[in-house]
Amino acid sequence: MALRTVLMPFPTGFPGKADLRMSFRQFFNILWVRRAIITLTTLTCLLGAMIAIRILPPRYEATTRVVLDIVKPDPVTGEAISSAWARAYVKTQIELITDYRVAGKVVDSLGWTSSPIWAARYAARSKDDHSDFRRWLAETVIAGTDAKTVDASNILEIKYSSSSADAARKTVNAIRQAYFDQTLAFKREGAARNAEWFHQQAEKLRDQLAEAEKKKADFEKSNGIILQDDNVDTEMSRLKAISASAPAAAAAVAPAATGTSPLAVQLSQLDAQIANAQQTLGPSHPDLLNMQRQRATLAASVAREAAAARSAGGGVVSGPSVESMMNAQTRKVLEQRGKVYEAQRLATDVAVLRDQFNKTLTRASELDRESQSTETGLTLLGDAVAPDDPAFPKKGLIFGAALGVGFALGVLISLVLEMVYRRVRCSDDLGLIGLPVLGVMSIDRRDIGKRGVMYWLGFNDLFKRKSRTTTS
């Protein structure tokens, strides 16, 4: 014996407001009673998903990969990309793949400009599009191209989607090859431009160097000054040689003396000071020249003292000739001091220009080799293959989304209808209006097995409700 459901609207005159809180039992009772609505909305969404899959054109996605040799040094220059610039370098490569020059090369390699199919599509384009045929085709390639790096690697993945699997394969392979060729072209063009600039600078430096060398040679010739490899003039070298021979002459006289002369000791000390100063000071430094003048004076005194000692001892030594030679050479060096300084300045200018010229010419040669290099810093992996299944639309994802959306929409509609047309579904609903429950009559379990599929889907009660409405 089945219990007939009591349809009982809320009374309008009960005291207080109705409690709209709902227990899980009430919630599931509502879903069970309104299961027909949930079933219909779910089936409707699934049907819509099926129609969408039929209508939407499939998109096939082909993938190819390229290895970016970021840490590999350049074979010509030996330079490598630093880690700080690696991220910017990768972003630049991604932008280059979707650049018009690369896309234009793809269009040319695939022969799309001579295809009547693409010409018809171009003719049917929007009136607001004023781009030429080749640029329009290149924009089509760019729109279907996507590039990104594989996580935690230096592998660049290139994808292209098309309505044809074979077209996607051919196009993505053409994109990769065009990207490779364009990268090499960019590198060669940049190196060639830089090499040309460095060659121009080298020519200017060569002219400046020749002019500086001529100016230096003319100055030396007109003033009778000859600088050696260490920028020391010959007169200064001669003075150093005479100065070195003076202590030897004084030492030859020393055995004849009965004791060590104080002037000789001072002369030896001054010679040691001059030797140390020559290691740190230039030949024209005032301090060094002053010490050399002091030495000449002191050497003359020592020579006179030695001559007096030899006269007393009856010996004859030609020591004063060394002193006179050194004095004469010192005066000659001092007279040419300004001219020697100017000659040394000209020699320094020549050395600087020669160093700049050699470095510039070396860099130009490196760039010449780089402009002819075939190294791109890229390693091509395997060619793309035609995909078997379309990347869009994804049937499983669409059906899953339609099932979830349909069920959620059915539940929402059921709850809204229940709130608008509230009915007593169980004994808990009577508690909302404060009515006492005397008893509950359960459903006869023997009748459950006799109910068909229409009942379990909720359509049985729906059709009965419609028939009652028609009869009334």
Contact 45, 402 (CB under 8 A): yes
Q: Which residues contact 365 (CB under 8 A, 6 or more apart)?
A: none
Spatial separation of the C-alpha atoms in residues 73 and 81, rounded to whole Å: 8
CATH of domain 60-195+373-380: 3.30.1890
Radius of gyration of the chain (CA): 52
Give the pLDDT confidence score for residue 172 in this predicted structure.
94
Q: Where are the domains of the chain?
A: 24-56+411-464, 60-195+373-380, 234-335
Spatial separation of the C-alpha atoms in residues 2 and 445, rounded to whole Å: 9
Segment holding 289, helix H or strand E: helix 286-313
Contact 276, 270 (CB under 8 A): no
Residue in 318, 294, 310, 315 with CA at minimum distance from that of residue 243:
294
Spatial separation of the C-alpha atoms in residues 179 and 380, rounded to whole Å: 11
Instruction: Encode the chain (472 residues) as per-residue pLDDT tens digits.
Output: 334 444 444 443 334 444 455 667 777 777 877 888 888 899 999 999 898 888 888 889 999 999 988 766 665 555 666 666 778 888 889 999 999 999 999 999 999 999 999 999 999 888 888 889 999 999 999 999 999 988 878 889 999 998 888 999 999 999 999 999 999 998 899 999 999 999 999 999 999 999 999 998 888 888 877 777 666 666 666 767 767 765 555 555 444 444 456 777 677 777 777 877 776 777 777 777 778 887 888 787 777 777 766 665 444 444 446 677 777 767 766 767 777 788 888 888 999 999 999 999 999 999 999 888 888 888 888 888 888 778 777 888 888 999 999 999 989 988 888 778 777 666 666 666 666 767 666 665 555 555 555 555 665 555 555 444 444 4
The angle formed by the CA atoms of residues 460, 25 and 414, to the nearest 5 degrees, is 50
63: helix, strand or coil: strand
CB 291: neighbour CB atoms within 10 A?
19
Give the pLDDT confidence score for residue 434 in this predicted structure.
65
Q: Which two tokens stand for residue 87?
A: 């991220």
- For helices 165-223 and 83-97, angle between their N-to-C axes, nearest 10 degrees: 130
In the sheet with 145-149, reading across from the earlier edge strand, the strands are: 145-149, 155-162, 60-68, 378-380
Give the pLDDT confidence score for residue 246 in this predicted structure.
58
Q: Which two tokens stand for residue 209?
A: 């160097």
Spatial separation of the C-alpha atoms in residues 199 and 368, rounded to whole Å: 10
User: In one letter, which amino acid is 94?
Assistant: I
Give the pLDDT confidence score for residue 315 in this predicted structure.
44
CA distances from 132 to 104, 119, 121, 408, 425 (A): 12, 11, 13, 49, 70
Spatial separation of the C-alpha atoms in residues 435 and 429, rounded to whole Å: 9
Q: Are strands 60-68 and 155-162 parallel, antiparallel or unpaired?
A: antiparallel
Spatial separation of the C-alpha atoms in residues 119 and 113, rounded to whole Å: 7
Q: Kindly tell me the burial class for residue 64, based on how many C-beta atoms sit within 10 Å of its own C-beta (0-12, 13-18, 19 or more).
A: buried
Nearest 5°: phi and psi at 148? Answer: -160, 165
Q: Is the pTM here over 0.75, yes or no?
A: no
The angle formed by the CA atoms of residues 261, 263 and 269, to the nearest 5 degrees, is 110
Contact 195, 371 (CB under 8 A): yes
283: helix, strand or coil: coil
Contact 341, 233 (CB under 8 A): no
